[in-house]
Structure formats: C-alpha cells, structure tokens
Amino acid sequence: MSGVPALEVTGAGLRYGRTWALRGCFASVPQGRVAALVGPNGAGKSSLMRLAVGLRRADEGEVRVFGQPPRGANLPRVAFVAQDKPLYPELTVAETIRAGAGLNPRFDVQGARRRLDDLGVPRRKRIRQLSGGQRAQVAITLAVAKRADLVVLDEPLANLDPLARHEVMEGLMSAVAERGLTVLLSSHVVAELAEVCDHLILVSRGRVQVAGDIEELVSAHRLLVGPSGTTPAGSYDVIGRSDTERQTTLLARVRGPVHDPRWTTRELSLEDMVLGYLRAPEAVLAPRPVAL
C-alpha cells in the first residue's frame, strides 16, 4: 500500500454565505483505516464530508483524496452515503442497482445483488416501500459495490434498529477486510464506534480539534486525581480540570511519567477522552501542516 493518505485535509475551510462552517481544518487518514468523524451536532461533520467527496469545494485550504482533489477522474475512487440515504424513491431496488452500474465503471453488480439477497431486501420493491433499515442497506451496498477506495458515510447508523446497525457494520467491515478500503464514518455517539474505528477525527465548532490513531491518542491521555491546591510533577499538558473542595481532577496529555505519591493516574476510555476535549473546546491536538 502506498504512503499517500486516503484523505488529507490541509487548512480547509467552508463557507455557507458569509458564515464559516469549517475553518482551518487539518486531518489525515492513512489508507486501510476505519476513521470516526465525531463531534456534536452542527459542529461541521457533514461539511467536512461534503468536502471529502467533492460535493463542495473548499473555500480555503485543500482537500485531497489519494493525493488528488475529489473531482473528475478521481470520482470513481470515492463513494458517499449522505445522512438521509438519498435514493430515487420511484425506482425499484433492481433499477437502483442498474443505475449504479450505469454510473460507475467498476460497479460490482453481482456483489450488490448477492448482498441485498442475503439481507432479504426484495429487489422488486420500490425504494419508497422499503423500511429505513432496508433503505440504508441499499444505499450502503451501492457505495461498497462502486468499488471505491474511500467510502464516506454520514451517520450511517442513525435511525437504525440494533440488528440493522449490526448488519450494516458487518457488511462494511467485511468489505474493509476483503478489499482493504478506507472508511470515514461520522457519528455523534462515540460508544458505537469504539469497536469499529481505529482512527479519530474530532470536530467541534467548525474545526478539527483532535485527529490521529485512536490507540495512540487514548494511551497518551490520563486522568490525574490528587489533593486540591497541588499540581503533580511531570511532563504533561492539561486539557481539562475540575475542582472540588478536597480534590482536583485533571485530564492530561502526558509526555512522560507523572510521579507524585499524592496523585493517582488512571487510564481513559475513548469516550472519556472525547468528552474531555469537547468540554475544553480551546484545546487542539491535530496535525499541523508540514513546513514547506
């Protein structure tokens, strides 16, 4: 696998009229990763995805997919499923597959049919007659059958029941295992991504706050608890703190051991780390541009 990132966002900004939805965003997703795009509603997740799939052009900075802008000859390499899983409601499932085959040179018709048959989605039904879960499956199956190298999914699990969630994820992860594709999926529920994703992009208030390998990020952060009025010795950056009368709790990014017998150090879960950053919007841990 080559070293070009599947997705590279360098200083990207996006404007709706005079309001900036995104500003100065930096993130990079290596090939073969399953990246989670996380953040509160309205933080700019969908905007970042629109940039990544070429639905919009950045008003500042650059967005590259496998080293090229997501346009023209690069379009076959990116697949997108928008939030409401838009498909033509008057078409049948079979016609939707036919449309996918006609619009994409690499489209896997057999694979798409097999997958939808396995899931029990009737091919003769119209899209508007399907349940929400079935419709999501059709949209995601089409995106996978495009044989793109980067699949971008905006809130793929929203409005799905637990079984459908599991089936959607199984299908996606099988595709990742079989074809080594890169996935970028967004959610505002961090817990449902922990088993699936190995890369994180945390967006809040229109910027990328944290980006990187989940394991590296989680292992670099600790919860430090100690008596109030003291600070532990060691090399670390404080992301957030909360004080009670007797006790101080610090969420810290540690660079070395923290040795202070009065302070205890605890490991964090991904969810706790994300929450810590969301509570401290001014703390940023994202890749900066390489000096040219």
Partner 1 sequence: MGATLIEFSLDKRSGVATYMQIVQQVEQAMRLGRLTPGDRLPTAAEVVGRLAINPNTVLRAYRELESRGLVEPRPGLGTFVRRSLARPRDPVLEQRLAAWVREARAAGLGPDDIRALVESALAGGLAGEATA
Partner 2 sequence: MTWLAIRLHRVRMVSMALVVVLWAGFVAAERLYPGIRGISAGLFPYLPLVMGVFLGAPLLSREYERGTHQFAWTQSISRSRWLAPQIGTAAVLALTTTGLVTALIWWSLSDLPPELTGVLPFTWALFALALGAFWSAVTRRTTVAMGSAFFGVAACQLMAEGLRNRAARELGWSSAALGAAEAAITAGLAGVLVAGAWWFVTRRDPG
Size of the site for partner 1 (CB under 8 A): 15
- Residue 162 as a binder of partner 1 (CB under 8 A): the answer is no
Site string for partner 1, 59-98 (x = CB under 8 A): ----------------------------------------
Near partner 1 by CB under 8 A: residue from 82, 101, 158, 196 = 196
Q: Which helix (H) or strand (E) is 65 found in, with range? A: strand 60-65
Rg from Cα positions in the chain: 21
* Binds partner 1 by CB under 8 A, chosen from 82, 99, 119, 173: 173
Cα–Cα distance measured from residue 252 to residue 267, given in angstroms and rounded to the nearest whole number: 10
Residue 197 interacts with partner 1 (CB under 8 A): yes or no: yes
Q: Which helix (H) or strand (E) holds 147?
A: none
Residue 290 binds partner 1, judged by CB under 8 A? no
Q: Which does 82 bind (CB under 5 to 8 A by kind): partner 1, partner 2, none?
A: partner 2
DSSP 92: B
From candidates 11, 30, 32, 57, binder to partner 2 by CB under 8 A: 57
Q: Which amino acid is at 173?
A: M
Q: 34-38 and 199-204 as β-strands: parallel, antiparallel, unpaired?
A: parallel
238 binds, among partner 2, partner 1, none (CB under 5 to 8 A by kind): none
Which DSSP string corresponds to 197-258? Answer: -SEEEEEETTEEEEEEEHHHHHHTEEEEEEETT----EEEEEEEEEE-SSEEEEEEEEEEEE
By the rule CB under 8 A, 30 interacts with partner 1? no
Residue 81 CB, nearest distance to partner 2 (Å)? 8
Residues that bind partner 1 (CB under 8 A): 32-34, 166, 169-170, 173-174, 176-178, 195-198
